[in-house]
């Protein structure tokens, strides 16, 4: 139960941070990607803050033997780049650039009733389901 409360609190803090940073405004994200036009560099500061927070979290993690609310740390072990990862990253980037949303801000924006967020979330969910079915079909004999 404690872990669920902490996860909810962390998600709420993340959502508030996305709103305060303007990440739920697709025009701000598209403005950051428009380097040849009316470029808005403020997203770079959001990214720098996120990287700093991540580095701090990694530092804290490296000083502990176990997490506070689990029996062990679950960290990624793979370091290779494959076609599936590169294709997924490319599709994600194109979707981010066209819609101005990535998944977290889109979910937060659903709370505002933004039609564009709903369209993005439905399309992203469909894409995830298609990927899941495709990978499952490729693995199954």
Is this prediction's pTM over 0.75?
no
Alpha helices for 40-114 (secondary structure H): 42-62, 83-99, 103-110
CA angle (117 as vertex; 57, 43 as ends), nearest 5: 45
Task: Give the whole-angstrom CA distance, residue 102 versus residue 39.
Answer: 19
Task: Decide: 23 and 42 in contact? Cβ < 8 Å.
Answer: no
Average pLDDT over residues 78-106: 88
Separation in Å, CA 133 to CA 43, 83, 137: 34, 17, 6
Average pLDDT over residues 20-32: 87
Paired tokens of 48: 């720098």
Per-residue pLDDT band at 4 (split at 50, 70, 90): confident
> Would you state the pLDDT for residue 85?
87
> Would you state the pLDDT for residue 53?
92
Paired tokens of 31: 């403005």
Residue 9: CA count within 13 A, CB half-sphere: 6
Residue 37: CA count within 13 A, CB half-sphere: 8
């Amino acid at each position: 139960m404690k872990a669920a409360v902490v996860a909810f609190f962390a998600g709420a803090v993340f959502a508030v941070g996305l709103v305060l940073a303007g990440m739920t405004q697709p025009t701000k994200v598209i403005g950051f990607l428009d380097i040849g036009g009316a470029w808005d560099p403020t997203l770079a500061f959001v990214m720098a803050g996120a990287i700093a927070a991540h580095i701090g979290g990694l530092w804290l993690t490296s000083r502990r033997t176990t997490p506070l609310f689990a029996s062990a740390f679950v960290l990624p072990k793979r370091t290779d780049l494959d076609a599936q990862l590169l294709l997924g990253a490319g599709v994600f980037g194109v979707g981010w650039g066209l819609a101005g949303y990535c998944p977290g801000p889109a979910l937060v924006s659903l709370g505002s009733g933004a039609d564009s967020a709903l369209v993005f979330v439905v399309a992203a969910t469909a894409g995830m389901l298609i990927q899941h079915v495709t990978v499952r079909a490729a693995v199954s004999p």
